[in-house]
Structure 1
Amino acid sequence: MASKRYGYTLVELLVVIAIIGVLIGLLLPAVQQAREAARRMQCTNNLKQIGIAFHNYADVQKGFPQARITGPATLPSGTAVGNAVHSGWPTAILPDIEQGNLNDLYDHNQPFFATDNAVAINTKVQMFICPSTPNGEREFPNGYGATGAPGDDYVRLQTIRNSQGDVANAGFDSNKATRLANFTDRLSNTVLPGEVAARPQLYYKREIQSGVQATQPGWSCWAGPQALRLYSYSPDGTQEQVDTSGSETFYTCVINCANKMGVYSFHSGGANVGLCDGSVRFLPETTDVDMVMAMHTRDGQEVIT
């Protein structure tokens, strides 16, 4: 008697492969969303830890760290400059984010770009890098003839103007601790650190601009000032708010349009900002531009909804 042979036909095999492909196609977006949710949670935790560090610093120094320290300096090239940025707020909070060894390595009496600080500023600090940002291993010239490890967070200094022309002080001072009493808008209404990711490379709406760097790329080194002049952008992110004659053009976008001078992240639909009370908010890309500006002032007396 002839024996029967068992097995799949070619058609059955193709159907099985097609079903497996469909299931994988359905599963991958869910896996990617889960991974991004985890990265966004880690980013949120980083900003919370920075906020706690600012308050620990304030307990001792009677104020938040200065946004930046400026003064005369000699560049690595040997050129003397009258007013250079010596360092930014991240160097002040190193002992408060469990980076005591790095703080000991960093010479606070010299600018961050000094030769003696080369090893310190090239040490990557994970707390200053958003895990959603591409190329977390990037290194780049810091603008003063040295290189440094990246940083994806900023604090706002100087002044801010809204679309009606009203001007108010931004959160932080230069060259001195910022007293908490200066935050008359209340700490819960004022942004402390926010995201401005992927510098020094310039991005418009998630599209990398080949060969073009964001403004002041050197400040993206974590040891630099990480300051941000908060600008609004055209919907495509390519045209920024300008002020050439005392009048400014305000556009409709300020979040995730460009990392040149705007709040920017690689989170879907918005960006994280930490507030001065230690909490963290996720600001949708649709947040009103004036509302974003108001959240970055400490004494504008705006109503934050």
Structure 2
Amino acid sequence: MVRTHRRGFTLIELLVVIAIIAVLIALLLPAVQAAREAARRAQCVNNLKQIGIALHNYHSSHDSMPWGDGPDEWNQWSSAALLLPYIEQSSLHNAINFSYGLQNWNLPYNTTTHRTQISSLLCPSDIDRLTNADAHSNYSGNAGTAPATFYDWDNTGAFDGLFTWSGNPPKGGSYKKTQTVAGFRDIIDGTSNTAAFSEKVKGIGTYSTERVADALRPPAVYALISKPTGADLLNPQTVYNQCKSLNPASPGTPQNQNSLYPNGALWYNGCPSNSRYNHVMTPNTWSCTYNGRWGDMGGAVTATSRHPGVATVLFADGSVKAIKSSINPATWWALGTRAGGEVVSADAY
């Protein structure tokens, strides 16, 4: 009988095999991560498309789009709250007590509504660092391009977007309420050239927590800037220049700790940090605001996302487009106005 002897792998051969497997994993991992991000981004696009359908159905019923921030006495329901019946959330909408009253949105009998998370209001590419009990959101309505467009207490006619405040200041104020809701008839620039909703990355902590430095890019914190005056309340250039020179992610940069809420902390609330943004800073830069809290907040509340190099934007015609972070500021400003008269080429963004 002839006895055969099988030779095993040598140490060198084993190390070579391990090295080949490691190289293959290194090559495949980015592809797997890219595929996952593509799926997450597709879900985000679909969420915005559903909001677009809801906006058009709401307009068909009311001949206007919803307000961006509810009326007086802190009855500050967001546009998302008004759109609930049109995104298959009629039961949740019916559970809301919309009656006029002091801090109505924060009354105990609305707690169930506050804490009900609507999955279509979350972008799966973002992480959640919020710690408040209420449900969150990644999507915000376009208030316009003017730094004062959120709450125009200076009577400048700053509202040039689609979602503004529908209220009045406290008694004794000199504010003269102008247009508070917009309709398709007001979009002179064309619905395909006017942004309606965009992503905004969620913030950090809770609404009782002071702002902290944010190491992620784009950062979710707000740098503090001085309030512009006169024509600069309408012109984004001055605030853009001031904000561009700052870095809110740096621990040494003054932060607006009175902006009331971190981004997206309360899906149902119409404050800019929660459910509105404007077209002052280009996508995925950072936000810079003046003054504090809700009553006179303005500046730049910026469209941001975790998608590499782009922010996903819903336009008033219902289309969804990925807007590059490198978009020319003037083009971005033009997309934020509903009747600015700008001429924007489709290949510009």
TM-score by structure 2 length?
0.68
Deviation of 1:218 (Å): 5.6
Following the alignment from structure 1 to structure 2, what is the Cα–Cα distance between the partners of residues 60 and 18? Answer: 64
2:327 counterpart residue number: 287
Show structure 1 runs of 4+ deviating over 6 A.
Answer: 210-214
Following the alignment from structure 2 to structure 1, what is the Cα–Cα distance between the partners of residues 280 and 301? Answer: 6
Deviation of 1:47 (Å): 0.5
Moved more, 23-32 or 95-104: 95-104
Q: Is the 8 A contact 2:162 2:181 kept in 1?
A: no
- Tell me whether 1:50 sits opposite 2:99 in the alignment: no
- Tell me whether 1:191 sits opposite 2:195 in the alignment: yes
Which of 87, 93, 103 aligns to 1:103? It is 93
Q: Structure 2 matches for 1:8-27, cutoff 5 A?
A: 8-27=9-28
Instruction: State the secondary structure of the residue aligned to 2:146.
Output: strand
Unaligned runs of 5+ in 1: 73-83, 141-146, 162-166, 244-259
Query: CA offsets per residue over residues 21-40 of structure 1, 9 Å max, x none?
Result: 10000000000001101111
Whose strand fraction is larger, Structure 1's or Structure 2's?
A: 1
Following the alignment from structure 1 to structure 2, what is the Cα–Cα distance between the partners of residues 242 and 118? Answer: 31
Aligned length: 268
1:217 counterpart residue number: 261
Unaligned runs of 5+ in 2: 148-157, 167-179, 206-211, 221-248, 292-299
Residues 239 and 189 of structure 1: CA distance in aligned 2, closer, same or farther (over 3 Å): closer
Which of 165, 169, 188 aligns to 1:174? It is 165
Q: Is the 8 A contact 1:193 1:274 kept in 2?
A: yes
1:302 counterpart residue number: 342
Following the alignment from structure 2 to structure 1, what is the Cα–Cα distance between the partners of residues 134 and 90? Answer: 19
Give the counterpart letter for 2:99 in structure 1: N
Q: Structure 2 matches for 1:208-287, cutoff 5 A?
A: 215-217=259-261, 220=264, 221-225=266-270, 226-232=275-281, 237=285, 240=288, 261-287=301-327
- Percent pairwise identity: 31
Give the counterpart letter for 2:217 in structure 1: K
Q: Is the 8 A contact 1:271 1:285 kept in 2?
A: yes
Following the alignment from structure 1 to structure 2, what is the Cα–Cα distance between the partners of residues 297 and 266? Answer: 25
1:143 counterpart residue number: none
1:132 counterpart residue number: 125
Instruction: State the secondary structure of the residue aligned to 2:71.
Output: strand
2:152 counterpart residue number: none
Q: Is the 8 A contact 1:215 1:261 kept in 2?
A: no
Give the counterpart letter for 1:107 in structure 2: N
Following the alignment from structure 2 to structure 1, what is the Cα–Cα distance between the partners of residues 118 and 32? Answer: 27
2:83 counterpart residue number: 93
Residues 301 and 241 of structure 1: CA distance in aligned 2, closer, same or farther (over 3 Å): farther
Deviation of 1:113 (Å): 1.9
